[in-house]
Amino acid sequence: MMTVQEEIKVTKVLDNSAAAFTTINSGVIDMQGFDGVAFVTAAGTIAATGTAVVKVQQDSVVGMGTAADLLGSGQSFIDTDDNKSVLVDVKRPSKRYLRLVIARATANSDWTAIFAIQYRTKRAPVTQAVDKSKLLVSPIEGTA
């Protein structure tokens, strides 16, 4: 039986973002060899009059020059949604390249790092794209 690390690929596609009015575009995920991807992030503080929409875009080229929103992928955040998390899962996208977009409108909001978790690989095991990872098999208790 394979482990999670062998069956999924976790990629940090954007660092924490400071409060601003600008749109946030995550790094681009190449879906070749995977069936789906789940993007995960969380709002920090959303200003009193703030709103933000988290959505996924796709394109057939890595440059995302003609990126289009995925129907139904939008999740709205308002000023009472401080510190709430969001997961948007895209299974079998129709185009190869995807990114998460956070459209911040009317006021500042800051966001935690964005992670992409690709799953159902056609070529296991996968190489992880995180800075550090560790696999423990039948570990015993002791100093970590």
CB neighbour class for 50 (10 Å; exposed up to 12, middle 13-18, buried from 19)? buried
Q: What are the domain boundaries of the chain?
A: 4-121
| Higher per-residue confidence, 74 vs 106 | 74
Confidence of residue 102 (pLDDT cuts 50, 70, 90): very high
Q: What per-residue confidence (pLDDT) applies to 1?
A: 62
Q: What per-residue confidence (pLDDT) applies to 106?
A: 66
What average pLDDT does the segment 99-119 reach?
88
Q: Summarize pLDDT for 56-91 with one digit per residue, the tens.
A: 999 999 999 999 999 999 988 888 888 889 999 999
* 5: Cβ contacts below 8 Å, ≥ 6 apart: 125, 126, 128, 133, 135
Checking if the pLDDT of 132 tops 90, the result is: no
What average pLDDT does the segment 121-131 reach?
77
The CATH code of the domain at 4-121 is 2.60.120.1110
What average pLDDT does the segment 112-137 reach?
83
Question: What's this model's pTM, rounded to 2 decimal places?
Answer: 0.87
